[in-house]
Amino acid sequence: METTGLISIDARVMIATLINFLVFFLIIKKFFYGAIKDVITKRQESIDADITGAEEKNASAGKLKLEYEGLLADIKAQEREIIRDANAEAQAQRQAILDKAHGEAKAILDKANAEIEFEKSKAMNEVKTNIVDLSLFAAEKIIHKEMDQKQHEAMILDFIDKVGEAK
């Protein structure tokens, strides 16, 4: 036997090892390759499925997101519309209340003014009527006192003429 170093190359060992390895390989290949391949394939499929599912989920999530964003926009728009309507209605009510109040105030004022005017004119007319009555009463008394026989006769003559004229 040849002395060798710690590391030496022995062709037989090498060949034996190689054959060993080949045998081992073949055995493995013969008995375990399919299983291993199956496992790997399954794993691969599972991962692929997971990826696809994730992608699908992602896509549907994106869709949902869009949907919800749309809904949210709608809701916001509705909200704005409701607020706008409410505002408009409140404004209209406010205006209506103000108008009504103004109208009522004006009516009260007008009525009061009319009443004042009426009372004023009534009082004025009463005064006027009294003045007229008194004046005519005085006139009557004066005429009655002042008229003499001649004037009476003159008036009656005038009347007689008028009776004769008008037919």
- List residues near other proteins by CB under 8 A: 121, 124-125, 128-129, 132-133, 136, 139-140, 143-144, 147, 149, 151-153, 155-164, 166-167
**Cβ closest to other proteins, residue 107 vs residue 142:** 142
What is the distance between the alpha carbons of residues 108 and 115, in angstroms, rounded to a whole number?
10
What is the distance between the alpha carbons of residues 53 and 44, in angstroms, rounded to a whole number?
14
The C-alpha angle 133, 139, 143, rounded to 5 degrees, equals 150
Q: How far is the CB of 147 from other proteins (least distance, A)?
A: 5
**Cβ closest to other proteins, residue 44 vs residue 125:** 125
Q: How far is the CB of 119 from other proteins (least distance, A)?
A: 13
What is the distance between the alpha carbons of residues 23 and 44, in angstroms, rounded to a whole number?
29
**Cβ closest to other proteins, residue 38 vs residue 153:** 153
What is the distance between the alpha carbons of residues 77 and 84, in angstroms, rounded to a whole number?
10
**Cβ closest to other proteins, residue 112 vs residue 157:** 157
Q: How far is the CB of 91 from other proteins (least distance, A)?
A: 48
Residue 41, amino acid = T
